[in-house]
Amino acid sequence: MDPVPALDEPLKKVLGPATAKVMAEHLGLHTVGDLLHHYPRRYEERGQLTHLADLPMDEHVTVVAQVADARLHTFASSRAPRGKGQRLEVTITDGSGRLQLVFFGAGVHKPHKELLPGTRAMFAGKVSVFNRRLQLAHPAYELLRGDAEETVETWAGALIPIYPATAKLESWKIGKALQTVLPSAQEAADPLPESLREGRGLVTLPEALLKIHRPHTKADIEEARARLKWDEAFVLQVALARRRHADAQLPAVPRRPRPDGVLAAFDDRLPFTLTEGQRKVSEEIFADLATDHPMHRLLQGEVGSGKTLVALRAMLAVVDAGGQAAMLAPTEVLAQQHHRSVTEMMGELAEGGMLGGAENATKVVLLTGSMGAAARRKALLDLATGEAGVVIGTHALIEDKVQFHDLGLVVVDEQHRFGVEQRDALRGKGKQPPHLLVMTATPIPRTVAMTVFGDLETSVLDQLPAGRSPIASHVVPAADKPHFLARAWERVREEVDKGHQAYVVCPRIGDEEDGAKAKKKSPEDEAEKRPPLAVLDTAEQLARGPLAGLRVEVLHGRMQPDGKDAVMRRFAAGEVDVLVATTVIEVGVNVPNATVMVVMDADRFGVSQLHQLRGRVGRGSAPGLCLLVSEMPEASAARQRLNAVASTLDGFELSRIDLEQRREGDVLGQAQSGTRSSLRMLAVIDDEEVIAEARAEASRIVAADPDLERLPALRTALDALLDEEREQYLEKG
């Protein structure tokens, strides 16, 4: 049997079962290679101390500091009623701030002996607040004596690496484990082709691993980071380039519109001219549709930039060419909304085969899970015979029973709501792979588009159609300034008095099921956070209180589909003044007369989600107003996030903020595959140049050698990146 390569050696063999178990369970590290790629988050210098002033709440931190003083207190408690309870309070300082450490009970003896004033140590624990002061309760610590041989050797060099750690495994224990496996770094196979590495002046992989874990100087860290970023960007871009290469080999039916077809007739009846952006993006799409391999295009557009119109024109071009087009929407509310707006825009062109239909008309069919049996049968028949040129639906489109006559184009709306399997299932319904257009109103920074959607060509719609109104956004601090909230409800009444309508959005529905979930929370959670505001309670309070006399209705995801549709129709017709809803209205809902939105507990929503929600107002000629209500204190990160949303309407700017706050997650689709993040060193936002260069190099290498036969080490790195789940994810893209 061949010996296991050093980097594939299980940690259990090298570090022992107990440590290996904690590493696997808490950090997802299983092999020597995994541990070598667990990089330090930052470095401490012996001569400099961490800024205690900047400690984040509720996070596990490691700090290097000096003991200022230590006091032992005795107290009475239920366990020690005679005043025998002991509490050790240690104050540490680093020049920037002070931090309290507390130890209780039997846990006080060792630190009482060791943590004497003047002692320097590394402390690790979770930051909490007690009596309005930051503290670490029962932190683990490692003394930095600098004379004991073992310590000097372990912490050799002036730079101490601080690793992403957990409560069960402190940073310095990870450092000691790395000391054990570091010699294996010499055997790391280098995925970068030598010519590329030398051309860019990058160090070898073994050298980079050595310098990232045991740097002697800051220059060592920079060299290592530059190299490891390139590895991540390059291997990922090679995976995507191979994917694009494979897609380009697939056959597809070219679809070209006819000069006298339904698209030309539709354009003639449009009551407005297309924006420059809509024209340009349409031309890109038509050029792709005319080729004999499948289009894979991502259409990004600001909220309200007219993506649906661009998608509809692409669908009609395919109908002209004798094919069918399907639009997949994430919710029934949105599918119905799209169906309504498409049939309205097309008029008699959507009445194919019906009296009064235009001669080159087609049929537009809606297919959702909740349709009655007869309507469903009719829709399925229209699809199978090719009678229906355009179909709009939810996941119901994916079911086995659904057969198309000749599916030529799949449009996926709000890509982030769909798993890859669902997109894949719909694409499998064409006789040959259909063309694919993916739409999203969540703006994606260019670098993220190059990584997450690196297999798709990207089109961006960034101008709003004429006649769209600006939206003013303000944060309403309900706890600090309750009169601001009262004023918000007055503003809603003023808008309704002018003949306009309003949305009130809440994070929760508020029926019994939610109540049951809320009860399971721990008492600490309950004390710290009240449950998020609910639609049903809020609607009732508003109708009885500040909005008494107005027509208030509710809309949420657990209502029956017919009920949801009826409410939306009444709201669209102006028969409802205020719609209290969950985020079911987040995408695509279009009521131009709605001018004001109040988002309750706005801090419970993400940045991109708030931007989406806000896009529901200001869709007509009257200016829009969005009020973000929050009880979070002024200095909190949540309030800063809300201030950012209120300060700009630029979705791309907000998506950068969102990404910086959420960190990248797994760029290969954590949501879909649930695997560990493949990006440890690369910051998608900051490393734009590296990603763009890596993409160009990867395309060049894959074009010359698609199977990477001349680059076995790159092939191995690719296999490691694309474990089975990710491989499937990319295959299905």
* pLDDT tens, position by position, 275-296: 888 999 999 999 999 999 889 8
Kindly state the helix (H) or strand (E) to which residue 437 belongs, with its residue range: strand 435-440
Burial category of 105 from C-beta neighbours within 10 Å (exposed 0-12, middle 13-18, buried 19 and up): middle
Residue type, 17: P
Read off the pLDDT of residues 220-259 as tens digits, 9 standing for 90 and up: 999 999 999 998 889 888 988 888 888 888 888 999 988 8
Report the pLDDT value the prediction gives residue 324, as an integer from 0 to 100: 93
CA distance 144 to 150: 11
Q: Are 388 and 379 in contact (CB under 8 A)?
A: yes
Ramachandran class of 200: left when φ > 0, alpha when ψ lies in -120 to 50, beta otherwise:
alpha
**Residue at token pair 């950090």:** 27
| CA-based nearest residue to 511, from 532, 535, 490 | 535
pLDDT surpassing 70 at residue 1? no
CA angle centred on 658, ends 225 and 720, rounded to 5°: 45
Burial pattern 336-351, b for ≥16 Cβ within 10 A else e, equals: bbbbbbbbebbeebbb
CA distance 220 to 462: 42
Report the pLDDT value the prediction gives residue 502, as an integer from 0 to 100: 93
| CA-based nearest residue to 136, from 128, 144, 146 | 128
| CA-based nearest residue to 450, from 699, 692, 670 | 692
For 263, the token pair is 């698209």
| CA-based nearest residue to 413, from 341, 495, 499 | 341
Question: H/E/C letters for each residue in 364-378?
Answer: EEEECCCCCHHHHHH
- Which of 49-63, 144-158, 452-466, 509-523 has maximum average pLDDT? 452-466
Cα-based distances in Å from 17 to 14, 26, 34: 9, 14, 16
Residue 516's pLDDT band (cuts 50, 70, 90): very low
Report the pLDDT value the prediction gives residue 364, as an integer from 0 to 100: 93
pLDDT surpassing 90 at residue 208? yes
Average pLDDT of the segment spanning 347-355: 75
pTM: 0.65
CA distance 341 to 131: 57
Half-sphere exposure of 233 (CA within 13 A, CB side): 26
Half-sphere exposure of 299 (CA within 13 A, CB side): 30
Q: Across the strands, what pairs with 72? A: 88
Q: Are 15 and 177 in contact (CB under 8 A)?
A: yes
Least reliable range by pLDDT among 86-90, 99-103, 244-248, 655-659: 655-659
Report the pLDDT value the prediction gives residue 317, as an integer from 0 to 100: 95
CA distance 302 to 540: 34
Alpha helices in 129-193 (DSSP H): 149-154, 171-181
For 646, the token pair is 């209120």
pLDDT surpassing 80 at residue 465? no
Diameter of the chain by CA atoms? Answer: 96
Report the pLDDT value the prediction gives residue 207, as an integer from 0 to 100: 94
CA distance 62 to 296: 46
Q: Are 254 and 286 in contact (CB under 8 A)?
A: no
pLDDT greater at residue 674 or residue 682 = 682
**Four-CA torsion 343, 344, 348, 353, nearest 10 degrees:** 20
Report the pLDDT value the prediction gives residue 536, as an integer from 0 to 100: 87
Q: How much is the mean pLDDT over the chain?
A: 80
Alpha helices in 347-434 (DSSP H): 373-385, 420-427
pLDDT surpassing 80 at residue 359? no
